[in-house]
């Protein structure tokens, strides 16, 4: 993982810190200070052996959906604080990381703790905090993280248009015309074959923008 700097300021391997998945402790005793919330990553890796990439984001487009009170599954860290915990919403220890990792299972999943576990969900919203994405590889994880943000923005605009139209017309209440279940399934499969094209563009953008420096 990166040391405790903004990701855009990472320039070489010296900016990376290697951690043991089992306890989130640095492999090297003299490692640079890292992120407090590394337990998000380690506990998902521990629980799901097939996961190879985890992204945690505070994207403002997604944040409203974690606090709106809508019927959306959300990880509420307040339910898992121990009595002496620092209540700042951060995933500061293995207990909170493990509690979050369990939300990647379906609510009705019959989970046997000793079996090889697989993800039921790729994204988990976190109340007042952001969201976390898990995937089998870096490219897929980045794709899901970016499109979670973009899709949230689209839905917010759609809800705003719907509310405005309803207030102006005073007509019968209508709802957003969401994808049907069969469309969701088919569109999801297509999306997972198309991320390579998007990934290629994002790599080129990083190469072309002067903000990013890569020291060999």
Measured between alpha carbons, how far is 23 from 34 in angstroms, rounded to an integer?
A: 14
Within 38-197, strands assigned E span 53-57, 74-75, 123-126, 130-135
Strand pairing class (130-135; 123-126): antiparallel
Is 107 a residue of the active site? no
- Bridge partners (DSSP) listed for residue 131: 57, 125
Contacts of 198 (CB under 8 A, 6+ apart): 143, 146
Q: Which of 28, 37, 207, 215 is catalytic?
A: 37
Is 53:61 a contact under the CB 8 Å cutoff? no
Pick from 136, 110, 111: nearest CA to 122: 136
- What are the catalytic residues? 37
């Amino acid at each position: 993982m990166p040391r405790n700097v903004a990701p855009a300021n990472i320039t070489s391997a010296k900016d990376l810190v290697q951690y043991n998945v089992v306890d989130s402790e640095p492999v090297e005793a003299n490692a640079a200070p890292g992120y407090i919330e590394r337990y998000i990553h380690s506990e998902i890796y521990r629980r799901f052996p097939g996961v190879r990439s985890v992204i945690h984001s505070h994207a403002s487009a997604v944040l409203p959906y974690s606090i709106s009170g809508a019927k959306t599954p959300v990880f509420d860290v307040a339910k898992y604080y121990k009595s002496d915990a620092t209540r700042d919403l951060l995933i500061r220890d293995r207990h909170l990381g493990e509690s979050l990792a369990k939300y990647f299972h379906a609510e009705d999943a019959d989970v046997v703790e000793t079996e090889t576990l697989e993800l039921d969900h790729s994204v988990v919203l976190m109340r007042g905090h952001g969201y976390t994405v898990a995937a089998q590889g870096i490219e897929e994880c980045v794709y899901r993280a970016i499109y979670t943000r973009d899709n949230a923005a689209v839905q917010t605009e759609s809800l705003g248009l719907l509310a405005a139209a309803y207030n102006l017309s005073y007509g019968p209440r209508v709802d957003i015309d969401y994808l049907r279940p069969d469309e969701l399934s088919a569109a999801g499969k297509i999306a997972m074959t198309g991320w390579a094209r998007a990934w290629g563009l994002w790599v080129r953008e990083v190469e072309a923008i002067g903000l990013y420096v890569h020291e060999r």
